[in-house]
Structure 1
């Protein structure tokens, strides 16, 4: 595992869904990089309350899929809801599938996967409120702690919520290794 992109919106990422996978990647010897749509710092949240801010390493126009070995999409409701409206973000996500590189998405993050047309024919999990959206996009949705789907062009790791982070982090690190 080398360099892993963490794609987040300028505001609204669930802090623990950013920081715990970030630590797992670092502990496994990888280099996480925070990618966003705007330079500067992003604002994380602890559910609905503002959390810490984090420095952006690069913006979407400054990077390409070829720069990374995998992608993490943290959740939070606002984060993927914003990213799915940004064509460059959707294209960046889609690029990992086209390149056959592993992707890990937790909680509400599969909303961005739907917009990138990356769940059709895949088995996934998510925060329960996304179940119908994912099924309508052609996925098989299951209520499980973590799902590792290898039935497509790449390994796709999905998980439901912060309580599942230990399993999510291990599955993501394994996929990136």
Structure 2
């Protein structure tokens, strides 16, 4: 069982992420001693950073930017204990059509590593074939997508099924981060094949 202080965690996102769904796990996991890196595809609004979409502003607009530590092409599942996939609508919608993203998420799952996704992030898990036969949650507007992919959707703050962690919204961030820490401490969850 690795201690969270020894863990290396990857957050994968692109422009349009829900700000707190990236920044809160980043800050809380680092505060507990984990090494956390942010990776993104090379094509972003600004070199070396990704920008949140802030739907709370009037009018809706781009929000805070976060530095990117690694390009997507540079990261491998072997180098990390967990991957975190923030939501927002734009972020997972763009990531789920990137073959490199899907292959990376599938590799994390196949190696029994923690795969954590919140809000609309489970769209990526659906695309990666990881929903079928699992218990999951998500933002309520994609409930049907998750169910149509073969998952049992639960209206709970956090749902875990063999190391795959899902949460509904920013309101669930405390439970989401706590479950990531717990799952990392448990270690390998065995091979979980993409359907």
TM-score by length of 1: 0.93
For 2:184 and 2:27, locate their aligned partners in 1 and report how far apart those are by CA, in whole Å: 14
For 1:25 and 1:162, locate their aligned partners in 2 and report how far apart those are by CA, in whole Å: 16
- Alignment of 1:106 onto 2:118: yes
Residue 162 (structure 1) shift: 0.5
Counterpart of 2:133 in structure 1 is 121
Residue 49 (structure 1) shift: 3.0
For 1:86 and 1:148, locate their aligned partners in 2 and report how far apart those are by CA, in whole Å: 25
Counterpart of 1:14 in structure 2 is 18
Q: Say which one has the larger Rg.
A: 2
Specify the SS of the correspondent of 1:50. Answer: strand
Match of 1:52 among 64, 68, 72: 64
Is 1:24–1:173's contact at 8 Å kept on the other side of the alignment? no
Residue 46 (structure 1) shift: 2.6
Match of 1:93 among 96, 99, 105: 105
Q: Cα RMSD (Å) of the superposition?
A: 1.1
Consecutive unaligned residues of structure 1, counting only runs of 5 or more, are: none
Consecutive aligned runs of 4 or more in structure 1 exceeding 4 Å deviation:
none
For 1:55 and 1:129, locate their aligned partners in 2 and report how far apart those are by CA, in whole Å: 29
Match of 2:164 among 147, 156, 176: 156
TM-score by length of 2: 0.85
Counterpart of 1:24 in structure 2 is 28
Residue 142 (structure 1) shift: 0.9
Question: How many residue pairs get matched?
Answer: 172
Post-superposition Cα deviations, 1:60-114, rounded to whole Å, max 9, x if no partner, equal 2111111111000000000000000100011111111111101110000000000
Residue 176 (structure 1) shift: 1.7
For 2:48 and 2:23, locate their aligned partners in 1 and report how far apart those are by CA, in whole Å: 18
Residue 121 (structure 1) shift: 0.9
Q: Which moved more, 1:73-82 or 1:44-53?
A: 44-53
Post-superposition Cα deviations, 1:146-165, rounded to whole Å, max 9, x if no partner, equal 11212xxxx01110000111
Consecutive unaligned residues of structure 2, counting only runs of 5 or more, are: 186-195
